[in-house]
Amino acid sequence: MPKKPGHELTHRQMRRLFFVALVRQLRVIWPIVSGVVLVMIGCGLAIWRIEDWRIDEALYFTFVTGLTIGYGDFTPKHVSARILSLVIGFAGIVLTGIVAAVTVKALNADDWEP
């Protein structure tokens, strides 16, 4: 973190600068993030229809799979639902990577100097 002599940032100022940079980054990549989330939800709704689950079970399965937690309490039986589960898993990996990249970018923001 670059500092000028005699200009120390407080923890509160650093936290504020981080969140400002994070929001700035999120506004740029919001179309990508929302697209990935919509793909995940769309696949989850398709699995809901294919597997004849309740909608809350299908959305739960979608986000547990997408966040790579994968408890295994719901497993698709049909081949098409399994393929959609793979799409959800890959979309979740992309989403996790995007969140990590945006956070690192916000941490490396050039706005750290007072």
Looking at this protein, which amino acid is placed at residue 58? A
Average pLDDT score over residue span 106-110: 78
Looking at this protein, which amino acid is placed at residue 53? W
Q: In the predicted model, is pLDDT for residue 17 greater than 60?
A: yes
Average pLDDT score over residue span 78-98: 96
Note whether residue 6 is domain-resident: no
Note whether residue 24 is domain-resident: no
> What local confidence, expressed as pLDDT, does residue 65 receive?
95
Note whether residue 17 is domain-resident: no
**Domain tally for the chain?**
1
In whole numbers, what is the pLDDT of the chain averaged over residues? Answer: 88
pLDDT tens, residue by residue, 30-62:
999 999 999 999 999 999 999 999 999 999 999
More confident residue, 8 or 112: 8
CA distances for 95 relative to 39, 42, 46, 90, 111, angstroms? 11, 15, 20, 9, 26
Could you tell me the residue range of the domain that residue 58 belongs to? Answer: 31-106
Instruction: Take residue 5 and report the two structure tokens written for it.
Output: 């002599």
